[in-house]
Amino acid sequence: MNSEPMILSIGQALVDSIIRGFDPEPVSATGFRAESGSLFVGGEAVNQVLALARLGRRAGILCHLGTDSAGDLIEGAMRDAGTDLSALIRDDLSPTPVTTMFVAPDGTRKSITNAAHRYNFRPDRYLDRLPEKGAILIGSLFRAPFDDPLIIERVFRAARERGLLIFADTKLPNFRFLTLDDVAASLPLADYITPNEDEARYFTGKTDPEEMADVFLSRGVKNVIVKLGAKGCYFKNASFSIRLPVHRIRAADATGAGDNFIAGFASEILAGEPVEKALRFAGACGAICTTAVGAGTALRSREQVLSFLETTPLSDV
């Protein structure tokens, strides 16, 4: 039996169809052109677990895949990366979601989802698959499968009973809308929550990062990281706060940057590194991710991240 702590990512798995340089002017009655079109495995749980595996961590995933070609593509990519797939669920209850993403020249993107994204595989029915030691990484708090307060609380409590660290990334709701009041019982169980600026503004009603963090802290969350995009990130807990800039890079695609960020952060925290060092490592992981198209394309190894930290200057923003 492997005694190494595991980071188990729980969330959605999908295929991203990424279209760059879309030209809205039609070339025929039904035809359009784009610079490129590519298929990549994605979904927050997949992005995170691939990053963790490439950083050298024991990484597992609890997600649902359909018995279709999209599911085969995702499972193959995770297996190739060395992901622990013992908690993977595959059945024909729902197809594997496919997302179409339009990526702008500056790396920002817009996505199109469909009904398959609404399938909730009920991770609270598989609590026996949580690791004995390590951490769980919630891919998208407030989106399926974590858009049900009961599911959130059951998973968080089971993780806490096992002594696992809980890292919760967030997303804006898309099908079912929850507020912080709806998940009040679960928030004090979370060790780290990592909304981006838009998400933090939506859930807290605040515009200043410190005030955003204070709202989450007042709800019992122990540590808050507000991801500020090109402005870096802001961290706060009961003891201290810190704001860090980003690295100077040329972004090609921001897809998955937040997932790579939290994977890098969780990796370092579980290794016993201090928060500031973990945040700098996480920022490098997120920045590297944006240098290529696709969430799991650019990040390759821990050594790559350490070299990036030594050679890439920080932004003045």
In tens digits, the chain (317 residues) has pLDDT values of 567 899 999 998 999 898 988 888 889 988 999 998 889 898 899 999 999 999 999 999 999 999 999 999 999 999 999 999 999 999 998 999 998 988 887 767 788 887 777 777 899 999 999 999 999 999 899 998 899 999 999 999 999 999 999 999 999 988 788 999 999 999 999 999 999 999 999 999 999 999 999 999 999 999 999 999 889 999 999 999 999 998 888 887 777 889 999 999 999 999 999 999 999 999 999 999 988 877 778 899 999 999 999 999 888 76
Q: Is residue 116 part of a domain?
A: no
Q: What are phi and psi of 55, to 5 degrees?
A: -85, 0
Domain membership of residue 305 (yes or no) is yes
List the helix and strand counts (H, then E) for the chain.
Answer: 8, 14
Task: Report yes or no: 265 and 194 within 8 Å, Cβ to Cβ.
Answer: yes
* Nearest-5° Cα angle at 140, 144 to 185: 85
Q: What is the pLDDT of residue 29?
A: 87
How far apart, in whole angstroms, are the C-alpha atoms of residue 244 and residue 227?
A: 10
Question: Is 31 contained in some domain?
Answer: no
- The answer to whether the beta carbons of residues 169 and 43 sit under 8 Å apart is no
In a domain? residue 18: no
Q: Identify whether the C-beta of residue 50 lies closer than 8 Å to the C-beta of residue 78.
A: yes
Yes or no: say if 87 and 155 are a contact pair by the CB < 8 Å rule: no
Burial class, 305, CB count within 10 angstroms (exposed 0-12 / middle 13-18 / buried 19+): buried
Q: What residues make up the domain containing 56?
A: 6-13+42-95+121-311
Record the tokens describing residue 140, joined without a space. Answer: 């998208």
pTM: 0.90
Residue (of 210, 262, 258) closest to 237 by Cα position: 210
Three-state secondary structure readout of 88-111: CEEECCCCCCEEEEEECCCCCEEE
pLDDT at res. 144? 86
Token readout for 268 is: 């370092």
Provide the number of structural domains found in the chain.
1
Which pLDDT score is estimated for 20?
85
**Burial classification of residue 1, based on how many CB atoms lie within 10 Å of its CB (0-12 exposed, 13-18 middle, 19 or more buried):** exposed
Tokens 């960020």 — which residue?
A: 261
Using alpha carbons, select from 111, 60, 52, 118 the residue that is nearest to residue 89: 60
DSSP structure class, residue 29: S
- The answer as to whether 258 is a domain residue is yes
DSSP 315: P
* CATH number for the domain that contains residue 220: 3.40.1190.20
pLDDT at 2: 64
Bond from prior residue into 274 cis (ω within 30 degrees of 0): no
In a domain, 22, yes or no: no
Residue 21 falls within a domain, yes or no? no
Within a domain: 210: yes
